């Protein structure tokens, strides 16, 4: 499964990119607003740090506005993925972007029927929001499983990008449910490396090694 960072913090991206485990980045208007910087500048800088797909979201709500904004975003770098909302207008824009060879990430997906429409429109990615569904009493992972079954039934190429990830266990569950990718906040990404037994075991190994007085170098 591909792992994307959900962030606009370039310093954090550089740190995680050094692991070789970051496949891409997603951004949204809320993250851009928190950065306090011009959007085009932020996206351009991210694309210099990350070689993989970088999702940049349009702000327009009508398809023609989305198309104009999306073309401008796509011109920033070849790895920009234009992010559009899963609305009627968003899917009209997605279809046109597909015909123009512009990659898309259809976001705010909350049902398998919506995901079906996104795939039919030719979306590169669809982003079901797991955590937000859980917040409203639904089972977010059930949606991932339903989308996976539909896409496999009809051999759609659209990739399932699990979003609204809240924990390391969410990442594991999304992988088990068949998500192609997950977009993860930096704190959750950091948590993937950790387990108390790993830390305890390493501490014991280092203690035992120190007692030998040896050096590998």
What is the full DSSP assignment across 163-194? BS--SHHHHHHHHHHT-SEEEE-HHHHHHTT-
- Active site residue: 34, 72, 83, 200, which one? 83
| Closest-CA residue to 55 (of 166, 161, 177, 190) | 161
Q: What is the band of 64 on the pLDDT scale with cuts at 50, 70, 90?
A: very high
Q: Which tokens hold the place of 80?
A: 């920009």
Assigned fold of 2-212 = TIM Barrel (3.20.20)
As a whole number of angstroms, the distance between CA 49 and CA 35 comes to 17
Q: Based on the residue annotation, tell me whether 200 is a catalytic residue of this protein.
A: no
Farthest-apart Cα atoms in the chain, separation: 70
pLDDT digits 0-9 by tens, 3-44: 999 999 999 999 999 999 999 999 999 999 999 999 999 999
Q: Which tokens hold the place of 182?
A: 């997950």
Distances (CA, A) of 50 to 1, 45, 46, 77, 80: 17, 9, 6, 11, 10
pLDDT digits 0-9 by tens, 123-180: 999 999 999 988 888 888 999 999 999 999 999 999 999 999 999 999 999 999 999 9
8 within 8 A of 30, measured Cβ to Cβ? no
């Amino acid at each position: 499964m591909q792992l994307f960072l959900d962030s606009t913090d370039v310093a954090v991206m550089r740190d995680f990119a050094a692991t070789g485990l970051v496949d891409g980045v997603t951004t949204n208007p809320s993250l851009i607003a928190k950065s306090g910087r011009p959007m085009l500048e932020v996206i351009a800088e991210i694309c210099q740090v990350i070689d993989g797909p970088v999702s940049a979201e349009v702000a327009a709500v009508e398809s023609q506005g989305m198309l104009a904004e999306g073309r401008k975003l796509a011109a920033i770098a070849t790895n920009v993925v234009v992010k559009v909302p899963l609305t009627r207008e968003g899917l009209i824009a997605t279809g046109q972007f597909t015909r123009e060879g512009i990659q898309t990430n259809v976001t705010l997906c909350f049902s398998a029927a919506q995901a079906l429409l996104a795939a039919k429109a030719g979306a590169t990615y669809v982003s079901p929001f797991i955590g937000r569904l859980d917040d409203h009493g639904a089972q977010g992972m059930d949606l991932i499983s339903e989308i996976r079954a539909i896409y496999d039934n009809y051999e759609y190429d659209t990739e399932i990008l699990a979003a609204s990830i809240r924990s390391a266990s969410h990442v594991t569950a999304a992988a088990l449910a068949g998500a192609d990718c997950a977009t993860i906040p930096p704190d959750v990404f950091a948590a993937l490396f950790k387990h108390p037994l790993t830390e305890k075991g390493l501490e014991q190994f280092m203690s035992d090694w120190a007692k030998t007085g040896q050096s590998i170098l």
